[in-house]
Amino acid sequence: DPKIIQKPKYLVAVTGSEKILICEQYLGHNAMYWYRQSAKKPLEFMFSYSYQKLMDNQTASSRFQPQSSKKNHLDLQITALKPDDSATYFCASSQEWVANSDYTFGSGTRLLVI
């Protein structure tokens, strides 16, 4: 059984539209993260949350907004989509919000913006 569920697995969106990427973890972890992976760059840190509080934001654009409705949920809303947003978005979690904690990643949402 997957411990981190990301939905949808694939997503095609039109430039200028808005999408929400879903992430739920069933590991009982207190920290959750979003990373982005594209052909041009390695896995790129975006956000970290601890106990549903935003702890770190490395995205330059306010078009990316994480949303945490429950402790084990961290969704990612992306507005005004651009073709450059095309990438695979990975959600991850760890027991605590520290770098020396084991990270578990979901299988990703592959986003294509046309």
Letter string b/e over residues 49-86, b meaning 16 or more CB atoms within 10 A of that residue's CB: bbeeeeeebebeeeebbbebeeebbbbbebeebeeebb
In DSSP terms, which residues pair with 109 in a beta bridge? 89
Distance of closest approach, residue 114 Cβ to other proteins, in angstroms: 21
Distance of closest approach, residue 71 Cβ to other proteins, in angstroms: 18
Nearer to other proteins, 79 or 105 (CB): 105
Q: Which residues bind other proteins (CB under 8 A)?
A: 4, 33, 35, 42-45, 48, 55-56, 58, 90, 92, 97-100, 102-108
Nearer to other proteins, 45 or 79 (CB): 45
Nearer to other proteins, 60 or 98 (CB): 98
Distance of closest approach, residue 36 Cβ to other proteins, in angstroms: 11
In this structure, are residues 46 and 112 in contact, taking their beta carbons and an 8 Å threshold? no
Using CB atoms within 10 Å of the CB of residue 112, give its burial: 0 to 12 exposed, 13 to 18 middle, 19+ buried: middle
Any idea what DSSP says for residue 2? -
Distance of closest approach, residue 13 Cβ to other proteins, in angstroms: 20
Q: Kindly state the tokens that stand for 100.
A: 């020396």
Nearer to other proteins, 12 or 43 (CB): 43
